Amino acid sequence: MTLPDPQLEFAFEIRADIGPFLRIGRSTDEELTFTPVTGGTVEGPLLNGRIVAGGGDWAVERSRTAQLEARYVVQADDGAYIDVLNRGYYRASQEVVGRVEAGENVPETEYYFRTAPVFQTDAAAHRWLAEHQFVGLARDEDGHVCVRVFLVK
């Protein structure tokens, strides 16, 4: 039996406000950093709301690839709270990293920034989030991290 190719449906875009990253530690082959999530928005056809300040993104970089784990809370427009755990990978050349750090909006095609967000909530209207798989295509834009979230069908 063959399985069908997955279909993706655009669900919403997360636009996270972030603070300056904190360097936690470095060894000979990796670096651990933390970036605070200070707010933001969620907008799209399937969910709208705001990001509650107080989350963050931990990154371990090895061989120019960062393994990411962000955790934060979204408050939907109806007041419900949704926990977000967003894991992924970021990889870019030193030249691209320098351009991003200088504030340039570098096209997404010049680096790899992919995530797999998982959602938890007991709000009946948003329970579908906790019952499906999602993928995210992320980018750095104007000092924000933006993630276009797609429902995998």
What residues does each domain of the chain span? 8-152
pLDDT digits (tens, 9 = 90+) for 109-130: 899 999 999 999 999 999 999 9
Q: What is the pLDDT of residue 142?
A: 82
CA 14 to mean position of chain CA atoms:
7
Cα–Cα distance measured from residue 145 to residue 153, given in angstroms and rounded to the nearest whole number: 25
Mean pLDDT of the chain: 94
Question: Is the pLDDT at 140 greater than 90, yes or no?
Answer: no
Query: Nearest 10 degrees: CA dihedral of 116, 121, 123, 128?
Result: 30
Q: Which amino acid is it at 132? A: H
CA distance 90 to 116: 12
Alpha helices in the chain, H assignment, sequence order? 94-101
Local structure of 106: helix, strand or coil: coil
pLDDT per position as a tens digit, 39-93: 999 999 999 999 999 999 999 999 889 999 999 999 999 999 999 999 999 999 8
Diameter over CA atoms, the chain = 51
- Tokens encoding 64: 């120019």
pTM here? Answer: 0.91
- CA angle (70, 64, 144) in 5-degree steps: 40
- Terminal CA-CA length for the chain: 18
- Tell me the CATH number for domain 8-152: 2.40.160.20
